[in-house]
Amino acid sequence: MSRVSGWVQCSEVIYGGNVDANLGLTLKGYEEAVKAASSRALELVQDGYLIGLGSGRAVAQVLNMIGEKIKKEGLKLTFVPSSYQIELLSRHLGLKLTHLEAGRLLDLALDGADQVEVKTLNMIKGGGAALAREKIIDSNSKKVAIVITEDKLTKNLGEGKPVPVEVLPFGVDAVIHSIEKIGGRPTLRQGQGKVGPIITDNGNMIVDVDFGRIEDPQTLEGEIKMIPGVVEVGLFTGLADLVYVGRGDGTVEVLRRE
């Protein structure tokens, strides 16, 4: 096994907390689906592009394919990663990395999602706790493409999926109380391979909030964001332009925001 594919496995282990989320697909079905969708998303990548990268398994898959494409076609690409997971993988693949620059939009953001509402392409993100940087990347890109498997599509956001909220540790108890007051059922996310709560790449905590079905995600996003101590909310509204939906049989559906 090459060093690169070894690293993919390694990155999946690092990211393992979310693997069981794909209850609708077998592991083989998931792999087929995510590979097919990632491969289609590559059609957006053009020579000279500055590309923002989300985090998670789907993004790791796309990135590996981009690494191969660069080797074959000699493309000149530069990347802005949203997490240590993706930064480390990018470095292992020998990719050129940079930071966001004032006044320069990224040409493309490639990202994953935990839930996507079919009609609006609004999303819940943050299963990998990278939501804050992902939202900065997605909001500063000319085009945002999302790679998911079919089990992540939903008619209504929030059904069966909590909203991750990144919170300053100093204010976590107060934030939890305020979230309860607006009708959410919060749970402090626990770490894996460490005791106590998970700590994000920004040094913060994650509170997963069950709101049940979310009728108006944009208003809820604003309401949560107004709570002092909240760093970012895993509701992404009006950001996704294209969603590549991989199915277990290897077919891909492309959804576009109207």
Query: Which residues of the chain form contacts with ligand 5RP (CB under 6 A)?
Result: 15, 18, 54-58, 111-114, 125-131, 134
Beta carbon of residue 258, minimum distance to ligand 5RP (angstroms, whole number): 23
CA–CA separation, 231 vs 132, rounded Å?
A: 7
Query: Residue 92 or residue 133: which is nearer to ligand 5RP going by CB?
Result: 133
Beta carbon of residue 19, minimum distance to ligand 5RP (angstroms, whole number): 7
Residue 185 φ/ψ, nearest 5 degrees: -115, 100
Residue 53 φ/ψ, nearest 5 degrees: -120, 125
Q: In DSSP terms, which residues pair with 232 in a beta bridge? A: 166
CA–CA separation, 169 vs 1, rounded Å?
A: 41
CA 180 to mean position of chain CA atoms = 25
Q: How far is residue 1 from each of residues 8, 13, 20, 88, measured CA to CA in Å?
A: 11, 16, 25, 19
Beta carbon of residue 229, minimum distance to ligand 5RP (angstroms, whole number): 20
Query: Residue 11 or residue 178: which is nearer to ligand 5RP going by CB?
Result: 11
Beta carbon of residue 84, minimum distance to ligand 5RP (angstroms, whole number): 12
Beta carbon of residue 206, minimum distance to ligand 5RP (angstroms, whole number): 9
Do residues 114 and 127 touch, judged by C-beta distance below 8 A? yes
Residues with active-site annotation = 134
CA–CA separation, 243 vs 101, rounded Å?
A: 26
Residue 223 φ/ψ, nearest 5 degrees: -60, -45
Query: Residue 19 or residue 97: which is nearer to ligand 5RP going by CB?
Result: 19
Query: Residue 92 or residue 125: which is nearer to ligand 5RP going by CB?
Result: 125
Query: Residue 16 or residue 183: which is nearer to ligand 5RP going by CB?
Result: 16
Q: At a CB cut-off of 8 Å and minimum separation 6, what does 227 contact?
A: 175, 178, 179
Q: In DSSP terms, which residues pair with 207 in a beta bridge? A: 165, 188
